[in-house]
Amino acid sequence: MDRVIFHIDVNSAFLSWSALKIIASGGADIREVPSVVSGDPEDRRSIITAKSIPAKKFGINTADPLSSALRKCPSLVVVPPDFEWYSECSRKFIAICREYSPVLQQFSIDECFLDMTGFLGGADPVQVATRLKDDIHSKLGFTVNVGVGSNKLLAKMASDFTKPDKVHTLWSREVESKMWPLPVRDLLYVGKKTEEKLVHYGISTIGHLAKVNPGTLGSIIGHKASLTLHDYANGVDDSPVEVLTQEAKSYSVERTFKNDVTDYKAMDRALFNLSCTVAHRIRVDGVRALSVSLFVKAKDFSVKSRQCQMERPTDTTAIILRYARTLLPDIWDGSTPIRQAGITLGKLSHDDFDQLFLFEDPQMEYYRKWDEEYDRKAMAEGADPRSKMRKKSRQEDDVPVTEHPSGESALKAAKEAVKKNPDLTFERKPLQDGTDCFILQDHSGKIVGRHVVPGSVAKVPKGNLSPEEEEYRRSIDDAVKKASEKSARRYEQFMELMKKATGK
């Protein structure tokens, strides 16, 4: 049986979804005027994430700096992103699509693939796709394009034909007539730099690319890329629609600060470090994430968190950091002392079928080079020195650890534990890294629990430490200092790269 794949793509998703919310509150339809979704106009790093059709007529494009867009159209309506609302719209959109086939892969917050093979019930694929498109419009109020094809590549290409609110087919038999005449840049995976190389050698259309010998193509753009692009130019793609479950694995990283963070620059540097670490981990494992969540824990141990879906699955540090930054103002006022922060990436995909040309402009080229260099150094240096220290400080046992905001509350908890079980005893003994700790022991001397005060330093006279412990304490302090200095240099280098990438 021949495969039948649908690719459903929301038309100008962020802008359409923002428009629906504005209309519901009595506002005008921003889709009918030059408008964009972007960050704070005062923030020089803000870029365009979505645009209206009237805005496009002014030469405004996705990923353009907002400052550039305002120069092109001073009357431009700028709407801030609302990721919580976008996630709600996305969930409803995906729910309707899932009614048509359970074999669904969410490709991004506003796109998904459906494997309709065996779920058409004998109906014409175009009629079913049209019914799905109209179903979404009538129930949710926004339009989509549906591409119908023999595989994921062709379905995706078809959905990018004329917009909005359209159904297009691209079967294997239609590749030569519908796809080959298109500019080579329209082929998935062909970005600006690749296009320039191909056009330089006279390869200007997808049809030209399809007929070039893979060996010759490899000498132009590299062997690995040449094989993929040659297959794609000929409409070949065997990748399955990968079903992602809600129980998909996630990647998390968190950090407890030595000193509470109370200003934005220090927090931004912390977000940068967290993003570098967690992005490196998913790249090593060959996955991309669609959702990102951020949490902060205050000095009083209260926790606030926010989550959003990114525009597309990614493993790029700069993009993960960008979304983490948008979440921060919702959970932190910029002055409340923060003792811990963390980032979690979820909704993972192992599928290599990804839009490598996402925001394909100098920015992505800079960001990818940054990640490649980071990965190279991380692999060469091995684990983060602080990870080694944490591992060494906890190597004694795997007993339960309870965190407390102060030494007094830790002491109280230890006393209560002994009161409940007279066979236990406790003593105040710092961990090897100096953290204040009360350990619980049974009658045999076995440690059965710890009550610790993270971020604290136990007030223990130096005379109570052996020479070996004092030397270890000094080694930790030196290593932490060096790691902190290295992190500061890396952050400043990244900020310089951001300025260069955005041309500011």
Beta-carbon neighbour count of residue 200 at 10 Å? 9
Q: Are 309 and 84 in contact (CB under 8 A)?
A: no
- Listed by start position, the domains of the chain span 1-172, 180-243, 251-382, 393-460
**120 — phi, psi (to 5°)?**
-90, -20
For the segment 36-51, what is each residue's pLDDT rounded down to a tens digit?
998 776 665 678 888 9
Mutual angle of helices 264-284 and 362-381, in 10-degree steps: 80
Residue 501, pLDDT score: 65
First and final CA of the chain: distance in angstroms?
A: 54
24-56 exposure pattern, b = at least 16 Cβ within 10 A, e = fewer: eeeeeebbeebbbbbbeeeeebbbbbbbbbbbe
Give dist(CA 218, CA 201) in Å, integer. Answer: 12
Give domain 180-243's CATH architecture: Orthogonal Bundle (1.10)
Residue 354, pLDDT score: 46
For the segment 44-101, what is each residue's pLDDT rounded down to a tens digit?
567 888 899 899 999 998 878 888 899 999 999 999 888 889 989 999 999 999 999 9
Tokens describing residue 480: 């932490």
Give domain 1-172's CATH architecture: 2-Layer Sandwich (3.30)
Residue 366, pLDDT score: 76
Residue 358, pLDDT score: 39
- Residues, the chain, total? 504
Give dist(CA 79, CA 77) in Å, integer. Answer: 7
- Which amino acid appears at position 31 of this protein? R
The alpha-helical segments, DSSP class H, found in 212-263 are 214-221, 223-233
Give dist(CA 140, CA 78) in Å, integer. Answer: 23
Active-site residue flag, 174: no
Annotated catalytic residue, options 99, 111, 468, 485? 111
Residue 445, pLDDT score: 65
Residue 292, pLDDT score: 93
**DSSP 8-state assignment for residue 78:** E
Give dist(CA 41, CA 79) in Å, integer. Answer: 10
* Sequence-separated (6 or more) residues with CB below 8 Å from residue 339: 256, 257, 260, 261, 297, 298, 299, 301, 454, 455
pTM of the predicted protein model: 0.63
Give dist(CA 38, CA 82) in Å, integer. Answer: 10
CATH topology of domain 251-382: Dna Ligase; domain 1 (3.30.1490)
CATH topology of domain 393-460: 3.30.720
* Sequence-separated (6 or more) residues with CB below 8 Å from residue 370: 317, 318, 494, 497
Residue 129, pLDDT score: 97
Give dist(CA 477, CA 456) in Å, integer. Answer: 14
- For the chain, which ranges sit under pLDDT 50? 245-248, 354-361, 383-397, 462
Residue 492, pLDDT score: 83
